[in-house]
A and B are shown apart, each in its own frame.
Chain A
Amino acid sequence: DILLTQSPAILSVSPGERVSFSCRASQNIGTSIHWYQQRTNGSPRLLIKFASESISGIPSRFSGSGSGTDFTLSVNSVESEDIADYYCQQNYSWPYTFGGGTKLEIK
């Protein structure tokens, strides 16, 4: 199985700052990585697909980059509504797997 390691477990930033989430795959997965946001008591929401492709309806402050084994989700100018857990997920091979998540806190 492909292991996705997200770091750090918790990120604490002030409103307006830029934040980056890291996701590392245990093997080369090209760009078959997707990012999700999950707010408290909510369902996950797709933010970015295939490492860097934007999703309709998602604010432009969310962007993704990376290929191979190292991937990054960036949020420009964090807002209070961005408080959530963030997960990466690969569909390069079965079984699809998720990273353990990073919790975003606002100072």
Chain B
Amino acid sequence: QVQLQQSGAELMKPGASVKISCKATGYSFSSYWIEWVKQRPGHGLEWIGEILPGSDNANYNEKFKGKATFTADKSSNTAYMHLSSLTSEDSAVYYCARGAWFAFWGQGTLVTVSA
């Protein structure tokens, strides 16, 4: 069965960077886009962007350009999102999901940015 397993919660200092992982199992990793979504209390769901592991093509929400960078490792079926120059506004739960209609979701990774 399709599963997306994300890395654990992170507590980061302002200005630091963090890399979140999303390991895919149960399907052909290279064949589907991996989507990344941000959720903060009171702010709903925001699409950060997507990457196609087979080609490394990526599309970013303009709002997150310069903040988020996507990579994918086909040897381990794992997608990554790197978030740079963290501020309190980056404190959120981040999800990975499969495909442009988000058929499958990871369990979410909580990132807390605090001095």
Contacts and interface: CB of A to CB of B under 8 A. Distances in A.
| Interface size band for B | 20 to 34
Nearest to A98: B45
A46 B103 contact: yes
B108 interface: yes
Contacts, number: 50
Nearest to A91: B100
A104 to B, nearest CB: 15
A96 B95 contact: no
A95 B95 contact: no
B29 interface: no
A46 B102 contact: yes
B106 interface: yes
Contacts of B104: 46
Nearest to B107: A43
Interface in A67-107: 87, 89, 91, 94-101
Nearest to A95: B61
Contact of B105 (A44, A49, A95): A44
A98 B44 contact: yes
B68 to A, nearest CB: 12
B47 interface: yes
B25 interface: no
Contact of B102 (A44, A94, A97, A101): A44
Contact of B47 (A36, A50, A95, A100): A95
A34 interface: yes
A91 B101 contact: yes
Interface string A37-70: 0000001111001100001000000000000000
24 contacts: A34-B101, A43-B95, A43-B105, A43-B106, A44-B95, A44-B102, A44-B105, A46-B103, A46-B104, A49-B103, A50-B101, A55-B103, A89-B101, A89-B102, A91-B101, A94-B59, A94-B61, A95-B47, A95-B49, A95-B62, A95-B63, A96-B47, A99-B44, A100-B44
